[in-house]
Structure 1
Amino acid sequence: LVVVGGAPGTGKSTLARALAGPLDATVLSTDDIRAAMAAAGEISGAPGTLGAGLYRPENVAAVYDAVLDRAGRTLARGRSVILDGTWGDPRQRDRVRTLAAQSACPLTELVCTAPLADTVTRIQTRTATTSQVTPQIATALVAGDDWGPAHWPQAHRVDTTTPPAETLAAALDICRNPHPAD
C-alpha cells in the first residue's frame, strides 16, 4: 500500500500513475472517485471552493471513505494499491495505517513537494483531469502546511521539480527499499 499525498499541483497523480506499472498496483484517486460520486449523485455541490460544494467536509469524508473501502477490497484480492490524494488530514492518514495493519501489508507514505508558484502553474495548465482544484484552493491548502515534516513525519518527501524520470526513480527506491522517513 502506497500513499501519494501532498498539496494540489505537486504532481501526486502524475507520480501515482508512473508508479502503478513498476509496482503492479491499482491507483485509487480521490479526484476520480469524487468525480464518479458526483456524477452518480452520491455527493453534490459546486466545484472549486475549499470547504464548500464538492469540498464540504461531509463530501470529503464520503470520498475518503469510498477510497479506503475500495482499497481494502483491492488489497483483499492480493493487489497492491496506490492512494492518490492530498491526504492532508492526519485522521485519514491514520485510517490508512489501520487498513495496512489489518491487511498485513507494508505501507509507504510519500508526500510530493514543489514550490507554490510551480503548483499554481501546473494547475492553470492542466488539460484532461478530474481535479476540480483551483489555484485559490491550492494556495489556501499550502498555507496550512498539512504536509510538512512536523505534521506528517511518517512521509518521505519526494521533490517533484526534478525531471519525471528522476522523481519516479526516487519514489521507486523508497517503495522498494523501505526505511524510516527522514
Structure 2
Amino acid sequence: MLIVMAGLPGAGKSTVAERLGRTLPAPVVSVDPIEAAMWRAGVARDQPTGLAAYVVAEAVADGMLALGQDVIIDAVNAVEPARRQWRSLAERRGVPVAFIEVVCSDPRVHRQRLEHRSRDVEGFDEPSWQAVQQRQTEFEPWTEYRLVLDSIADLDSNLAEALEFLSKYGS
C-alpha cells in the first residue's frame, strides 16, 4: 500500500506520518530532507529542487513497493500533479493508494507550531507563516477521497482514526 500524507507545513502531517510508520511498520519517505540534501550537495536553490525531491521520493518509494513494503509519503501534496504522481505509482505497482490530509483548524496554534518547530533537517529553512498562508491559497481541490485529520485532536486519536481508515485498504 502507498500512504500519501498531505497538508501545509507545520500542520502536523510529519508527526502523524512518523507515528504511522512506527505502528504499521512502514518506511516514511519525506520530501523535505531530500530537497535539503540536494542543496547540501551543491544544487542551487533557484533550481526546481522541490519538484526534483518529489521525483526522488517517488523513485525511493517505487523501490520499496517493489519489495512488497507499505510506504508512507510525507509531503505537502498541494497540487493535483503531485497527487497524480502517487496515484500513477500505485497503479504501476498494483497497490492501493490512500491519501491522508492533516490540517490544523486553529491558525494561532498552527502558527505557533511552525514558528517553534525544529526538525533537525540540515540545510532546510523552515517556511515563514506568511509563506504557509500563501501556500494555502495554492492548494488545489481534491479529486479523490481522503481522510482529513485535525491536528488539534490528540495524536493517539488521530493515529487510531488513520489506522481504521487504512484498514479499509488492507493495511
Question: With structure 1 as the length reference, what TM-score do the two structures score?
Answer: 0.83
Q: Does 2:60 match 1:70?
A: yes
Structure 1: runs of 5+ lacking an equivalent: 46-52
Query: 1:137: which partner in 2?
Result: 131
Alpha-carbon distance between aligned partners in 2 of 1:73 and 1:143, rounded to the nearest angstrom: 33
**AA paired with 1:80?**
D
Structure 2: runs of 5+ lacking an equivalent: none
1:152 to 1:8, Cα distance in 2 relative to 1, 3 A: farther
Q: Counterparts of 1:103-118 in structure 2 under 5 Å?
A: 103-115=93-105, 116-118=107-109
Alpha-carbon distance between aligned partners in 2 of 1:178 and 1:76, rounded to the nearest angstrom: 18
Question: With structure 2 as the length reference, what TM-score do the two structures score?
Answer: 0.88
Alpha-carbon distance between aligned partners in 2 of 1:152 and 1:125, rounded to the nearest angstrom: 33
Q: Counterparts of 1:1-182 in structure 2 under 5 Å?
A: 1-41=2-42, 43-45=43-45, 53=46, 58-115=48-105, 116-130=107-121, 132=125, 133-146=127-140, 150-178=141-169
Task: Give the superposition deviation at 1:155.
Answer: 2.0
Task: Give the superposition deviation at 1:154.
Answer: 2.6
Could you list the runs of 4 or more consecutive aligned residues of structure 1 that deviate by over 6 angstroms after TM superposition?
none
Alpha-carbon distance between aligned partners in 2 of 1:72 and 1:141, rounded to the nearest angstrom: 27
Task: Give the superposition deviation at 1:35.
Answer: 1.3
**AA paired with 1:142?**
Q
On the 8 A contact 2:77/2:83 being kept in 1, the answer is: yes
Alpha-carbon distance between aligned partners in 2 of 1:86 and 1:170, rounded to the nearest angstrom: 20
Q: 1:41-67 CA distances to partner (integer Å, 9 max, x unpaired)?
A: 2x322xxxxxxx4xx6x2211111111
Percent identity between the two aligned chains: 27
**AA paired with 1:87?**
N
On the 8 A contact 1:8/1:119 being kept in 2, the answer is: no
Alpha-carbon distance between aligned partners in 2 of 1:73 and 1:140, rounded to the nearest angstrom: 34
Alpha-carbon distance between aligned partners in 1 of 2:59 and 2:139, rounded to the nearest angstrom: 27
Alpha-carbon distance between aligned partners in 2 of 1:72 and 1:22, rounded to the nearest angstrom: 21
**AA paired with 1:177?**
K
1:101 to 1:21, Cα distance in 2 relative to 1, 3 A: same
